[in-house]
Amino acid sequence: MTVSTTAPSATAALWADAERHLVRYGGAFTPEIIDRAAGSYVFTADGRKVLDFTSGQMSAILGHSHPEIVDTVRQQIASLDHLYSGMLSPPVVGLARRLAGTLPAPLEKALLLTTGAESNEAALRMAKLVTGKHEVVSFARSWHGMTQAAASATYSAGRKGYGPGAPGNFAIPVPNTYRPDFTTADGCLDWRRQLDFAFDLIDAQSTGSLAACLVEPILSSGGIIEPPAGYFAALREKCRERGMLLILDEAQTGLCRTGTWYAFERDGVVPDILTLSKTLGAGLPLAAVITSEEIEQEAHERGFLFFTTHVADPLVAAVGNTVLDVLTRDRLDERARALGEFLRDGLTEMAGRHPVVGDIRGRGLLAGLELVVDRATKRTSDELGALVTRRCLELGLHMNIVQLPGMGGTFRIAPPLTATEEELSLGLSILDQALGEACAAL
């Protein structure tokens, strides 16, 4: 039994202070005060143990407070935590070398930063400088970050009310096999025709300054949507025809979560620039931009500048090295594949009991479960998603649901790669119960 460490009066005071002093930055806060976290669980101030099926912000791939990460932070912060940004340290150089060793040629040059938005910002800045152009293409349900260039390439949320974004940003439709817009004679998604149509529109709008295409291999905020096999090879060809660089944002899919080290491995396509974040720091602020020697040299000769306070910080670089140690030693790519199959089997069984489960998708330990109120029409209900989310939390499972206009409610399921089958079974059982109770309450 978990013992509460915070008295009810103190919890009430925390909520009062939060309401008075915190800026709300993305909807309502989860109605719990979290006191600590360990492994696959977070523990609330009132003593509840909650299974975390989001790995924090889809980041803590080794679980919370992994002992080797804790040891690394303790040792590193006691010896070398932060430096002038022009100085180098062994953890930084070592992490860059080791990241290159996990990737296919020609990806071998790394820039170490802090967040996904920052890495995408740097990647776009590099692409614009190298190509001498400025226009950027992204998916219509994308999320790449909240800084200027990254936000301008983000279409899933946050575009209204902030004035103009960066000039020359274009959206292309998402190849969603569950909700196809361009269809074949049998009603399946005709993604080739969709992609041709998209770039016909891009060509019509472009001023002739197409610099880059920035996309996620699996769209997360867009509803765990995985483009069909062959799509990225065709997209890369569209980029090549126009002299554009292909940038893949693997913030959530990189480093074993999908069952391979990188999601792009499925397609046999190597990006010109790769961005990593979330999973690289296992919950700590670490990101990377990785590209070829040729692109890095061109950028350098043109005066590439991305000098920030926390570029190449040794503390988080040391954490990144430990992350690679654990991923490699424990073969967490293989574990993600096996646990992903176990999770999908459980979700498929659940779909047989609950008609509100419209679609199951994703790869490895990044799964999506889309809820509908009618499988035939695929009609959605915001109320249903909210009910299930709330009931899951009450029963001891934190789930994250995507609510976008026209998309419906899709649960993003991303447990740590260190989760056990027993923990996955517990989460499935709670979700099963929540679905049944929510449907009965509608």
Domain C-terminal end among 329, 354, 371: 329
State yes or no: is 249 an active-site residue. yes
pLDDT digits (tens, 9 = 90+) for 245-298: 999 999 999 999 999 999 999 999 999 999 999 999 999 999 999 999 999 999
Query: Is 282 found in the same domain as 403?
Result: no
Q: 343 near 413, Cβ under 8 Å?
A: yes
Lowest average pLDDT, out of 28-32, 336-340, 424-428, goes to 28-32
Distance, CA of 355 to CA of 115 (rounded, Å) = 39
Percent of the chain predicted with pLDDT > 90:
91
Query: Is 91 found in the same domain as 235?
Result: yes
**DSSP H stretches of helix in 302-381:** 314-329, 332-353
Domain C-terminal end among 299, 329, 359: 329
Query: Is 174 found in the same domain as 191?
Result: yes
Q: Is the pLDDT reported for residue 408 higher than 80?
A: no
State yes or no: is 143 an active-site residue. yes
* Residue from 118, 191, 194, 252 carrying the catalytic annotation: 252
Residue from 368, 364, 367 nearest 335 by CA: 364
Q: 370 near 359, Cβ under 8 Å?
A: yes
User: What rounded mean pLDDT belongs to the chain?
Assistant: 95
Distances in Å between the Cα of 348 and the Cα atoms of 310, 377, 428 are: 44, 20, 11
- CB burial readout 66-102, b (16+ within 10 A) else e: beebeebbeebeeebeebeeeeebebbeebbeebbeb
Task: Please state whether the peptide bond connecting residue 106 to the residue before it is cis, i.e. omega within 30 degrees of 0.
Answer: yes
Query: Is 263 found in the same domain as 134?
Result: yes
Query: Is 131 found in the same domain as 45?
Result: no
How many residues are present in the chain? 442
Residue with tokens 């999770």: 343
* Residue from 109, 133, 141, 143 carrying the catalytic annotation: 143
* Residue 76 within a domain: yes
* Residue 1 within a domain: no
Other beta carbons within 10 Å of 133:
21
* Residue from 128, 257, 278, 391 carrying the catalytic annotation: 278
Distance, CA of 175 to CA of 231 (rounded, Å) = 8
Ramachandran angles phi, psi of 273, nearest 5°: -135, 135
**CA pseudo-torsion sign 286, 292, 298, 301:** positive
* Residue 237 within a domain: yes
* Residue 49 within a domain: yes
* Residue 348 within a domain: yes
Query: Is 37 found in the same domain as 112?
Result: no
> Domain with 376 in it: what CATH number?
3.90.1150.10
Confidence of residue 114 (pLDDT cuts 50, 70, 90): very high
Q: In the beta sheet, which residues pair with residue 290?
A: 110, 274
Query: Is 224 found in the same domain as 162?
Result: yes
> Domain with 120 in it: what CATH number?
3.40.640.10
Ramachandran angles phi, psi of 204, nearest 5°: -70, -30
Distances in Å between the Cα of 331 and the Cα atoms of 124, 269, 306 are: 33, 23, 34
* Residue from 216, 272, 370, 423 carrying the catalytic annotation: 216
Distance, CA of 43 to CA of 41 (rounded, Å) = 7
* Residue from 118, 135, 226, 249 carrying the catalytic annotation: 249
pLDDT at position 192: 98
- R_g of the chain computed on alpha carbons: 22
pLDDT at position 406: 55
What is the residue range of 32's domain?
8-60+332-441
* Residue 2 within a domain: no
Query: Is 179 found in the same domain as 241?
Result: yes
pLDDT at position 442: 77
Query: Is 93 found in the same domain as 21?
Result: no
* Residue 3 within a domain: no
Residue from 380, 426, 423, 376 nearest 401 by CA: 380
Other beta carbons within 10 Å of 54:
18
- Structure-token pair, residue 271: 């990006």
Query: Is 171 found in the same domain as 150?
Result: yes
Confidence of residue 5 (pLDDT cuts 50, 70, 90): low
| Whether the model pTM is above 0.75 | yes
Confidence of residue 234 (pLDDT cuts 50, 70, 90): very high
Domain C-terminal end among 311, 329, 347: 329
pLDDT digits (tens, 9 = 90+) for 173-219: 999 999 999 999 999 999 999 999 999 999 999 999 999 999 999 99
Confidence of residue 402 (pLDDT cuts 50, 70, 90): confident
Residue from 194, 196, 144 nearest 169 by CA: 144
* Residue 82 within a domain: yes
Distance, CA of 58 to CA of 283 (rounded, Å) = 8
Query: Is 341 found in the same domain as 247?
Result: no
Q: In the beta sheet, which residues pair with residue 424?
A: none
- Give the largest CA-CA distance in the chain: 65
Please spell the DSSP secondary structure of 420-441, one letter per residue: -HHHHHHHHHHHHHHHHHHHHH
Residue from 113, 122, 121 nearest 150 by CA: 121
Query: Is 411 found in the same domain as 324?
Result: no
* Number of domain units in the chain: 2
* Residue from 238, 337, 391, 412 carrying the catalytic annotation: 412
Residues 366-381 have a mean pLDDT of 94
Q: In the beta sheet, which residues pair with residue 52?
A: 398
Distance, CA of 269 to CA of 104 (rounded, Å) = 10
State yes or no: is 334 an active-site residue. no
Q: What are the start-end ranges of the E strands in 121-165?
A: 135-139
